[in-house]
Structure 1
Amino acid sequence: MMDPSSPLIQPIITFLQSWNTNFLFITLASLLVWIIWRIVYNRLEFLSKKTKFDWDDLTLHALKTPISTLIWCWPATISIDCFIQEHFGIKLQWLSMLKVPMVIATLVWITIRFISNMERFVLNQKTHDETTVQAIAKVARLIFIVIGALTIMQAFGLSLSGLLTFGGVGGLIVGLAAKDLLSNFFGGMMIYFDRPFKVGDWIRSPDRQIEGTVERIGWRMTIIRTFDKRPLYIPNSVFSNIVVENPSRMLNRRIKETIGVRYSDSDKVESIVSEIKSMLKSHPDIDSKQTLIVNFNAFGPSSLQMLVYTFTKTVNWVRYHQVKEDVLLKIMNIIRQHNADIAYPTQTLKLEPQALEQSEQELLY
């Protein structure tokens, strides 16, 4: 066995003892601070649950993980710095400067978590427009990330004026290389600010084969779920060049039908028209404030045609068809109550007597 007093072994033992002592002290100190933080956090969480406000809960939740991470990472940088400096004689300047960026990154992390918590809270309340809330949250997160990144660069001694000058030239180069990406980004901004549609809206475009429900509006693309449940991933720049129809923002839905009765019921048409109009005006699901037309409209090939033109109060697609069905059934009952009937395509052949006799003679011979 090797002698512990050996000149070769003694420096190693001294090194391990010194390192173990420093590392143990820093670790115990970090553990003590972390325990104190957890006790304070649990106490604050207990008090916040008794309040009627939700902002304190959101703030505490945003603080929890970043503060715990900082408590362990800060002493870790001190331990590494001491170890390298004492045993290798090297002073790493960037490691000493790492503490300030670490604090800045923690503050930015807390802010981003708070913004995300607020976004989820507001969306769960369902009192604000989902698209607007998401847009504001994304812009706020982007602003704080940029501010944090610039502050960290300045903490490392980088010149922001030079960086901005380089960014101007670099931005031009990047803009030319990534024009599609930028056009999609500004297309997304246009959607957020002009708000032609929002998440949950049913939209369609007569210019493209696009129709479905908006699921998500991102910075680069919008996701639309078609009625057969297929997802469509559409770049935002597309919406700058097409017409978008938003049926979800309709105020009413239209019922427009042409109904024909038999020519033999011509004497009953006037009373049928009058009764249908009265029925529509008193119908609870018909908006009588909108245009309402019930008139004898045309002489058809095999029917006397009546135009029924009105609007429902509902814009829901399923409910609209239920109302339309009820209206059509009531119209059919009104027609039958007048001993009339709905016409169907017929043809009447009129033969002259001379032509009939000639046809019979041709059959005999």
Structure 2
Amino acid sequence: MEATEQTLSRILATYGLDTPLVAIGGLLLLAMLIHLLLGVLLRRLHRVAESSSNRWDDVVITAVETPLRVALWLIALMLILGRVPIAADLQAFILRAYDTLLILMLAWFLQRLIFGAEEELLSPARGHKASTDKAAVHSTAKLIRVILWILAGLMALQSVGVSISGLLAFGGIGGIAVGFAAKDLMANFFGGMSIYLDRPFTPGDWIRSPDREIEGTVEDIGWRLTRIRTFDQRPLYVPNAVFTQIAVENPSRMFNRRIYETIGVRYQDSAKLASIVADVRQMLEKHPEIDLNRTLIVNFVSFGPSSLDFFVYAFTRTTVWVEYHAIKQDVLLKILDIIHEHGADVAFPTRTLHLDSAPPELAQAVRGEHP
């Protein structure tokens, strides 16, 4: 900055333009001219970037455009203030502020670059992204932005004369006290970090916990709380630390849904049971909504108290809850039709009373006869 001012002073003195008003006017005119030339250059770069197949050059040009314009006027302002006769202490403060502002401008450019990269990675032009991929991109970008501004803040403090080593030493001692005072807050913060890194669920997933009464659709994952919309449409706010202590199921990531039913046939239809089981298996193998790449079982399994039981074990192709129940209904109705086609029927609870060895008086009483 000082070398620039010295060079500028020599140029102005050579042409006799080293008076403050003339110097300020010249700097403003020069800044406006550079601003116009910069706009022409950036527009041309945008046209070249749009014509290329590589999309990352668009991201870089868009990220640098606005910070570069602001940086130009910031430099011009600092040069103008350097031409104004003010106190030496104020000039030193302005120079320190200049360094701090340039650090913040660089951090601003990098943040815009991170936002642009995040949008590019999630753009429809790159194809469909799974929910886990989107969560990974969002969480990584958010983590990089946090680290970026922490570093920018430390550099800015260093530029205004604050000792970073002393600050870090104080932070090590004070961190212990803050940790005890805000342990729940820190636990939730690191719980959110573990969710972002491990990705057990993402916004839009249906989750449930067998350990707690937590079930619903994830709407938002914050740094302290996760908002879940329950199936009765009530919002449920769960601290992130809870998810480090409980088991979580994610039905949204199922590959299939299971049909598991036990069906009983009457004992008098025992001769028809083998044919019924074979026809049910054949029906499932031909059903368009049953996934044959998964386990398919139809077998006679037990002699029930009042029925001969066989069970059906199959998986649907869909994981959508409503579609699954429609498919399950269709399968069960077709099983019922198969049973009826064989002249059999589904069993219901019955009880048989044998009276062959009963005394005559008891047998007559059961039949309603009087001795």
Query: Does the TM-score normalized on the shorter chain lie above 0.5?
Result: yes
Alignment deviations for residues 97-121 of structure 1 (CA, whole Å, 9 cap, x no partner): 2111211111110111110111122
Match of 1:107 in 2: 106
Alignment partners' CA distance in 2, 1:130 and 1:357:
77
Superposition pairs of residues 257-268 of structure 1, within 5 angstroms: 257-268=261-272
2:211 alignment partner, one of 197, 207, 210: 207
Question: Hey, what does 1:5 align to over in structure 2?
Answer: none
8 Å contact kept, 1:130–1:199: no
Residue 269 (structure 1) shift: 1.5
Q: Give the direction of change, closer, same or farther, for the CA distance of 1:339–1:188 in structure 2 (3 Å limit).
A: same
> Could you give the per-residue CA deviations for residues 289-327 of structure 1, whole angstroms, max 9, x where no partner exists?
544332333444554332222223333323322332232
Instruction: Tell me the SS of whatever aligns to 2:67.
Output: helix
Matches within 5 A, 1:56-67: 56-67=57-68
Aligned length: 341
CA contact (8 A) 1:222 1:235 kept: yes
1:78 deviates by 4.6
Q: Which amino acid aligns with 1:47?
A: V
SS of 1:224's partner is strand
What do the CA deviations read for 1:190-217 (whole angstroms, capped 9, x no partner)? 2223232233322111222211222332
State which drifts further: 47-56 or 290-299.
290-299
- The one of 135, 139, 144 equivalent to 1:135 is 139
For the residues of structure 1 that align with 2:298 and 2:66, how far apart are their CA atoms? 68
CA shift in 2, pair 1:354/1:329, >3 Å:
closer
Aligned with 2:169: secondary structure? helix
Q: Name which of 172, 181, 184 aligns with 1:180.
A: 184
Give the aligned partner of residue 71 of structure 1: 72
Match of 1:46 in 2: 47
- State how 1:276-315 maps to structure 2 within 5 Å: 276-300=280-304, 302-315=306-319
- Rate the CA distance shift 1:46–1:288 in 2: closer, same or farther, 3 A: closer
Residue 79 of structure 1: how far off its partner (Å): 4.4
1:356 and 2:363 aligned: no
Distance, in Å, in 2 between the alignment partners of 1:68 and 1:79 is 17
187 and 354 in structure 1: CA distance in 2 versus 1, 3 angstrom threshold: closer
Shifted more, 68-77 versus 320-329: the winner is: 68-77
Comparing 115-124 with 318-327, which one deviates more in the overlay?
318-327
**Number of the residue aligned with 1:15:** none
Whole-angstrom distance in 2 between the partners of 1:43 and 1:214: 44
C-alpha distance in 2 between matches for 1:225 and 1:20 = 64
Q: Does 1:190 align with 2:201?
A: no
Is the CA contact (8 Å cut-off) linking 2:24 and 2:83 kept in structure 1?
Answer: no
| 1:8 corresponds to | none
Partner of 1:332: 336
Task: Find the counterpart in structure 2 of residue 13 from structure 1.
Answer: none
How far the C-alpha of 1:152 sits from its partner, in A, is 1.7
Question: Aligned-pair distance for 1:81?
Answer: 6.0
* 1:11-70 Cα shifts (integer Å, max 9, x gaps): xxxxxxx98766655444433332222111111111111011111111111112222222
Q: Distance in 2 between matches of 1:173 and 1:357?
A: 89
Q: How far apart, in 2, do the equivalents of 1:27 and 1:212 lie?
A: 60
Residues 238-249 of structure 1: matches in 2 within 5 Å? 238-249=242-253
Structure 2: 5+ residue runs without aligned partners? 1-18, 356-362
State the Cα deviation string for residues 204-233 of structure 1 (Å, max 9, x = none).
Answer: 112222112223323222222333333333
Aligned with residue 232 of structure 1, among 216, 230, 236: 236
Residues 1:90 and 1:138: Cα distance change in structure 2 (over 3 Å): closer
Residue 334 of structure 1: CA displacement? 1.3
Runs of at least 5 residues in structure 1 that lack an aligned partner in the other structure: 1-17
Q: What root-mean-square deviation, in Å, do the aligned CA atoms of Structure 1 and Structure 2 show?
A: 2.9
Same amino acid, percent of matched pairs: 47
TM-score, with structure 2 as normaliser: 0.81
Query: Are 1:167 and 2:171 counterparts?
Result: yes
Q: Compared with structure 1, are the counterparts of its residues 90 and 296 closer, same or farther at alpha carbon in structure 2 (3 Å cutoff)? A: closer
TM-score, normalization by structure 1: 0.82
- The match for 1:55 is 56
Secondary structure of the structure 1 residue equivalent to 2:277: helix
SS in 2 for 1:49: helix
Give the Cα–Cα distance (whole angstroms) in 2 for the partners of residues 97 and 355 of structure 1: 109
- Give 1:30's aligned residue: 31
CA contact (8 A) 2:264 2:310 kept: yes
Change (3 A) 1:110 1:89: closer
Moved more, 40-49 or 320-329: 320-329
